[in-house]
Amino acid sequence: MRLLETQSRQESFGNPTVQQQTVMIPKPMEMMQRPLQPKVDKAEKTEQVKKKMKTVKVMATGYTAGYESTGKRPNHPEYGITYSGVKVRRDKNTVSTIAADLKVFPLGTILYIPGYGYGVVADKGSAIKGKKIDLYFKTTKQVYKEWGKKEVEVQVIRKGNGKLTEAMLRELGEAMEVSKEIPEDLWNKTV
């Protein structure tokens, strides 16, 4: 940076006065190295992130923790435990666990599924390949009554990093319970 000093004459009550003004001017090389970027407030930044959200058309089915979906019975030590190690859950007010092809949607990926709500990829399934997802429900009756099999366009809210823990899931659920959507400070946080 270099300083540019200017002097200017002004009339004040008929008496001439001199004011000195100091202005910081970036050197041409500095301007080229750091392009000027407009200031963006938090709300506008969040909107920009939301607008960049990717949508993906998927075939969505439902599953349960039961034998018909997982081959495990309630007395099995891993009954109701997902591939990520978290317990399955369905919560219409916050976030539910879902299964996906981990090559398409890595563990921890947060999706918004119209008609179902927010889902976080916590599981995989042997029949879930490509652009297919499996939505968790407590009972097979709920699977058929509330969902069945649908082709839907989901919004990828946040791509996961291949990891999901109970603590991460709890933090996400608690934050969403308060604000009814994913808070802006969690947009950039690793899930």
118-156 pLDDT per residue, tens: 999 999 988 899 999 999 999 999 999 999 999 999 999
Predicted confidence at residue 6, as pLDDT, reads: 44
Fold of the CATH domain 53-179: Barwin-like endoglucanases (2.40.40)
* φ/ψ bin of 32: left (φ > 0), alpha (ψ from -120 to 50), beta (otherwise): alpha
Say if residue 178's pLDDT is above 70.
no
Q: Pull the structure tokens for residue 51.
A: 């607008």
- DSSP letter for 74, please: T
Mention every residue, 6+ apart, whose C-beta is less than 8 A from residue 21.
Answer: 5, 6, 7, 8
Q: Give how far the C-alpha of residue 67 lies from the chain's centroid of Cα atoms, to the nearest Å.
A: 32
Between 178 and 10, the higher pLDDT residue: 178
Q: Are the CB atoms for 84 and 105 separated by under 8 Å?
A: no
pLDDT attached to residue 15: 53
List, for residues 56-103, the tens digit of each pLDDT value. 999 999 999 999 888 899 999 999 999 999 999 999 888 999 999 999
Q: What is the pTM of this model?
A: 0.67
Nearest-angstrom CA–CA distance, 16 and 14: 7
Question: Residue 177 has which token pair?
Answer: 């319970």
How does residue 16 score in pLDDT terms, banded at 50, 70 and 90?
Answer: low
Give the integer Cα–Cα distance in Å for 89 and 95: 8
Give the model's pLDDT for residue 176. 78
pLDDT of residue 127: 87
Q: How far apart are CA 114 and CA 111, in angstroms?
A: 10
Quick: pLDDT tens for 22-56.
Answer: 555 444 444 445 455 556 665 565 555 555 678 99
* CA torsion, ordered 71, 138, 150, 178, to nearest 10 deg: -130
**Structure-model confidence comparison of residues 5 and 154, the more confident one:** 154
Query: 49-73 burial, b if ≥16 CB within 10 A, otherwise e?
Result: eeeeeeeeebebbbbbbbeebbeee
